Amino acid sequence: MATVITSECINCGACEPECPNTAIYQGGVEWQAPDGSMHPGISNDIFYIVPEKCTECVGFYDHEACAAVCPVDCCIPDPNRPESEAALLQRARELHPDKTIPDDAPSRFRKEGAEPAPAASDAKPALAAAPAAAPAPPPPAVEASGLGIPDPDDWEIPIVCFRCSGEYAVAFRYFRAGVVFYCPHCNGSFVPTLSMVRGVEAALARFHGRWTKAFETFQERRRRELEQFEERQRAELEGFSAELRTIATREKPPGAPTKPRGFFTF
């Protein structure tokens, strides 16, 4: 199914440059078909997506690029135009005859790089495989810390309204240059600059790098300490087992045969 922009669109324009098929146009603007012909705009008030040019980013991304940058989540699949992955892939090839788009190209229908599941009719019996070697024992488990931080794209970026000084926040995935945000307190607008976005992005990268490195170092140290502790406990267990055996075999139990003493004549 093609993607459609709903009436919640705020005309920020963030989606238009993200489309790999140039299928998104501003309201009232004519759209151009692949053959060069021009057609009237589908919408006069808000940005719109041309269904004949939309592939839901199949062939380019494993997600819909317009939906990923939309600050109000108004780019959604059109329930009135259901289309298969194969149909969208074919359209991508028709729209881009100069590009080679393979069957396993990125697609939101499956994870990037994963092979699509074969149809039941195409399934073939697998040959008997040789027994696999026993896997190596896993390393000692290290207890994970409950202290976590969000993914950089989900990090809430604070915004202070210049009009009312009210504060609100948006996820970094939507914090892009040129995107218009509206204050929930007074409806005042705010538009991030490119330098502002790059500054926030660099700060997030530095912080996440330090945070991740600190936890990796800590967990590696704990893993080594746990291995050393288990080795000491294993040696102690072996020593105790030997001690227990010595105690249990020190004296003969009642009724056990004994070696005769002295001289006997028959």
For 81-97, how does the pLDDT look when each residue is reduced to its tens digit (9 = 90+)? 888 888 898 999 999 99
pTM equals 0.44
CA of 104: how far to CAs of 77, 88, 110, in Å?
A: 22, 13, 10
Model confidence at 34, pLDDT cuts 50, 70, 90, reads confident
Cα 39–Cα 42–Cα 43 angle in degrees, nearest 5? 135
Percent of the residues in the chain that have a pLDDT greater than 90, as a whole number:
41
Kindly report which listed range (140-144, 147-151, 227-231) carries the lowest average pLDDT score: 140-144
Q: Which two tokens stand for residue 24?
A: 């998104």
**136: exposed, middle or buried (C-beta count within 10 Å: 0-12, 13-18, 19+)?**
exposed
CA 190 – CA 170 distance, rounded (Å) = 12
Give the three-class secondary structure for 232.
helix
Enumerate the β-bridge partners of residue 76: 4
Query: Band of the pLDDT at 1, cuts 50, 70, 90?
Result: low
Burial class (CB in 10 A: 0-12, 13-18, 19+), 52: middle
Task: Give pairs for 211-215: CB < 8 Å, separation 24+.
Answer: 211/149, 215/145
The pLDDT of residue 264 is 54
pLDDT, position 121 = 39
Q: Lowest-confidence range among 8-22, 23-37, 122-136, 245-259?
A: 122-136
246 half-sphere exposure, CB direction, 13 A CA radius: 6
Give per-residue pLDDT as tens, 178-193: 888 999 999 888 888 8
